[in-house]
Amino acid sequence: MSTKTLEQVENQFETFQILNEEGEIVNEAAMPELSDEELQEIMKRMVYTRIWDQRAISLNRQGRLGFYAPVAGQEASMLGSQFALDKEDWILPGYRDIPQIVFHGLPLHQAFLWSRGHYGGGEIPDGLNIMVPQIIIGAQIIQTAGVALGLKRKKKNNIAITYTGDGGASQGDFYEGMNFAGAYNAPAVFIVQNNRFAISVPVEKQSAAKTIAQKAVAAGIEGIQVDGMDVLAVYAATKQARERALAGDGPTLIETMTYRYGPHTMAGDDPTRYRSSDLDDEWTKKDPLVRFRKFLEGKGLWTEEQENEVVDKAKEDIKDAMKKADSTPKQKVTDLIGFMFEELPANLREQMEEYTAKESK
């Protein structure tokens, strides 16, 4: 009986898809209502992010950028979900989720400063509803539950959304955050970008569960598995989850089935040690940019000239943002001490005096 029940639960979570790998509509009923201009804007953002990713990897190798987690392959998952948000919604990102917060409003040069570990990268502009990218795996899940509950108590017509990878779904914070949000019916959306590897550990070795989406059942919330290489499916699923949350129907867990084409981070990871070339080839054929490009070309909405314009703009924006980041004053120990308290306690006053003297030499 228990085995049958488990199978019944698992069978509920079939992968939601709108566009197949050839860019053909396979689920007409689920097609979101997006204008031609909005469809083009989504493509522009994905192309822009792919160029940004390539340049960031190069800058990291040159020693001009600090910590960086490549995003190529996950553009549909990241940008399709962000495109479904309202500007007043809150994003609580993980360390790979920089594109979402940049398109939500964070200046690009600040994203570069964050990568360098400069405090300027965490000075969020007034009115921008994002949190600083979370380094602790899964911690943003609990924070999102809290932010969402705060929005509910303040009667705001907005949601809190967060992102983690499949590895994050193996953390205790993952269930605790979802359970809390479910118990208080908070307007939260939890996105697990299942790129199949928690650094080097395959998802099959992380959990006996057939899907991550089914873990929503234990928390008593809605769950859905989505083709994370299909930007329209991700957009549609996120939009529906947002609408459910605002209608008072509770949180949603969205598992996007995606793949990172590069290493986990640029800090020495070598994916060839744990991923086969056959697996890489399989997912290369699912490239979200290729798929969506085919769809738009079929509708007469995308040309090589348009793509080249986006590529040129991305390169120019990155160049300008790096100049601005380079011109930002280097952070000092006294800066970091000064930020900690409105009024410094005695021990920090002593340190402030010591380092002020050192820095003045």
- For 116-136, give the secondary structure using H, E and C: CCCHHHHCCCCCCCECCCECC
The reply to whether 259 belongs to the active site is: no
pLDDT at 340: 86
Tell me the C-alpha distance between 231 and 156, whole Å.
28
**Phi-psi region for residue 163, left (φ > 0), alpha (ψ -120 to 50) or beta?**
beta
pLDDT at 10: 86
CA distances from 247 to 143, 159, 162, 226, 240 (A): 22, 11, 19, 22, 10
Tell me the C-alpha distance between 301 and 1, whole Å.
52
Residue 239's H or E segment, with its range, is helix 231-246
Cβ distance 238 to 30 under 8 Å?
Answer: no
User: What type of residue sits at position 112?
Assistant: F
Reduce the DSSP state of residue 210 to 3 states and report it. coil
Reduce the DSSP state of residue 224 to 3 states and report it. strand
CA distances from 140 to 19, 175, 179, 329 (A): 30, 12, 14, 30
pLDDT at 8: 85
User: What type of residue sits at position 64?
Assistant: R
Please report, for the chain, the start and end positions of each structural domain, with discontinuous segments joined by +. Answer: 4-330, 331-360
Residue tagged active-site, from 45, 196, 242, 260 = 260
Residue 312's H or E segment, with its range, is helix 304-327
Q: What stretches of the chain adopt beta strand conformation (E)?
A: 90-92, 160-165, 188-194, 197-198, 201-202, 222-227, 252-257
The string of DSSP letters for 253-300 reads EEEEE---SS-S-TTT--GGGTS-HHHHHHHHTT-HHHHHHHHHHHTT
User: What type of residue sits at position 274?
Assistant: Y
The reply to whether 242 belongs to the active site is: no
pLDDT at 1: 47
The reply to whether 264 belongs to the active site is: yes
β-pairing, 201-202 vs 197-198, is antiparallel
Picking from 245, 231, 228, 200, the residue whose alpha carbon sits closest to that of residue 46 is: 231
Picking from 146, 140, 159, the residue whose alpha carbon sits closest to that of residue 94 is: 140
Handedness of CA 163, 262, 312, 318 (dihedral sign): positive
Tell me the C-alpha distance between 122 and 99, whole Å.
15
Residue tagged active-site, from 264, 275, 291, 293 = 264
CATH 3.40.50.970 given to domain 4-330: yes
Picking from 316, 290, 323, 267, the residue whose alpha carbon sits closest to that of residue 72 is: 290
Residue tagged active-site, from 175, 184, 274, 355 = 274
Picking from 249, 247, 198, 193, the residue whose alpha carbon sits closest to that of residue 225 is: 193
Cβ distance 327 to 349 under 8 Å?
Answer: no
Q: pLDDT of the chain along its 361 residues, tens only?
A: 467 788 888 888 999 999 999 999 999 999 999 999 999 999 999 999 999 999 999 999 999 999 999 999 999 999 999 999 999 999 999 999 999 999 999 999 999 999 999 999 999 999 999 999 999 999 999 999 999 999 999 999 999 999 999 999 999 999 999 999 999 999 999 999 999 999 999 999 999 999 999 999 999 999 999 999 999 999 999 999 999 999 999 999 999 999 999 999 999 899 999 999 999 999 999 999 999 999 999 999 999 999 999 999 999 999 999 999 999 999 999 999 998 899 999 999 999 999 999 999 8
